[in-house]
Amino acid sequence: MFEPTPLTPDPRTGIAVLSVDEVVDRECDTIVIGGGVMGLGIAWRLARAGLSVIVLERNALPVGEASWAAAGMLAPLAELEFDEFELHRFAALSQELWPQLVDELNQDAAASIALDTAGTLMVGVDPDDAAALQRRAQYMRKLGLPVQQLTGAEAREREPLLDPAIASALWCAGDIQVDNRAFSVALAQAAVRRGVRIAVRAEVRNITLQQGVSVVLTDGQVVRGRRVVLAAGAWTRSIEGLQSEVNLPVRPVRGQMMSFAWPQGERLLRHVVRGPDAYLVPKADRLVVGATSEERGFERALTGGGLLQLLEGARDLCPAVLECNVLETWCGFRPGSRDNQPLLGSTGLPGVFVATGHYRNGIQLTAATLHAMERCLLLGDTSLVHEFQPDRFQPRRRA
């Protein structure tokens, strides 16, 4: 039996990841490319079913990109966009599955992840915002979704520190949140406990389909398996060997974010508060403020304009935020597809599957994605991923 030699434990997850040398020229059932929540989650679920799984992560640490950068909102109501019916159904399924996912994850990772069920307040700061909230409420009621319109005074009864100028709000009681960083760490821990091998600094150059699936790394080394799951997020298109066969139009969408320390450890807010220019997500130990949405490629930078937008947006919602100490500023790259909806399931190439393109809904859709991909990979059941098939952007040939 192959017994890998771990590296020094990863300071974020506490697990001992592997070097590339420990997994090359080794056979496994499934290779997963990408060590974010999608890749680690799928690997964990497959390992739970008794399969051998190797995760290849391009960075020095797993869960270091979009999964770590997110805010952890599980908000199918607040995130609802007009005419995104299939995406909303998938998000609603994910919301139903999250409690079970957390229970199983806590068991396997010996963790204590908890869901925050306080709900979301969507607020308007001027008459145009109020009109937009009114249209949204009408649309949500037409779809039979639970939403409650509030006056500014009623909103401040729930959150007393909201700006006095706020005149209207929508209350989305069904929206919840999770600490995405703690959740990501628990996924890595659960995967390793189930026997998943996570190799870091394993950047993939190419995928070839000869005698199963061969994943060629940038240093020329090869990892072999019966199949591969591409969960590389915004870096999906950097992997050769697929684009000539199947179109996977995933692009990076930069989001700048920041967090604040609670003054004297006391939380200013209990609910997620969403406004037109920023959202405020209260965690146990910090307040997360996000996020810009910028088509700047992989430009990993923070800008004065981006941070100003966050500060002004936060001030318009809760002026007391400006008195808090800044903890951290960062940016991440959302993986956006052409229609900003996920790419899930088989690529049509033998043994090549994909789970990426979740755009701004990655954490929210994690529970449904893991469930759907587990059924797809273990049972061949594609019913839950039908609307998100990766080949939907392929040009249709005329008969």
Segment 102-117, tens digit of pLDDT = 999 999 999 999 999 9
CA 181 to chain centre: 11
Do residues 280 and 269 touch, judged by C-beta distance below 8 A?
yes
Name the one residue in this structure whose structure tokens are 């391009």: 58
Do residues 256 and 303 touch, judged by C-beta distance below 8 A?
yes
- Classify domain 120-173+253-333 at the CATH topology level: D-Amino Acid Oxidase; Chain A, domain 2 (3.30.9)
User: What value does the mean pLDDT of the chain take?
Assistant: 92
Q: How many CB atoms lie within 10 A of CB 153?
A: 10
The residues of the chain that CATH labels 3.30.9.10 are 120-173+253-333
Q: Does 367 score more than 60 pLDDT? A: yes
More confident residue, 246 or 122: 122
Do residues 204 and 33 touch, judged by C-beta distance below 8 A?
yes
Q: Does 91 score more than 80 pLDDT? A: yes
**Average pLDDT, integer, range 218-236:** 95
Q: Does 242 score more than 80 pLDDT? A: no
Q: Does 320 score more than 90 pLDDT? A: yes
Q: How confident is the model at residue 5 (pLDDT cuts 50, 70, 90)?
A: low
Q: What is the CATH number of domain 1-115+175-250+337-392?
A: 3.50.50.60
Segment 14-43, tens digit of pLDDT = 777 888 888 887 789 999 999 999 999 999
Percent of the residues in the chain that have a pLDDT greater than 70, as a whole number: 96
> Concatenated DSSP letters for 137-195?
HHHHHHTT---EEEEHHHHHHH-TTS-TT--EEEEETT-EE--HHHHHHHHHHHHHHTT
Residue 22 has what pLDDT? Answer: 84
**Average pLDDT, integer, range 237-266:** 88
Segment 164-193, tens digit of pLDDT = 999 899 999 999 999 999 999 999 999 999
Do residues 285 and 324 touch, judged by C-beta distance below 8 A?
no
Residue 61 has what pLDDT? Answer: 87
The residues of the chain that CATH labels 3.50.50.60 are 1-115+175-250+337-392
Q: How confident is the model at residue 4 (pLDDT cuts 50, 70, 90)?
A: low
Percent of the residues in the chain that have a pLDDT greater than 90, as a whole number: 79
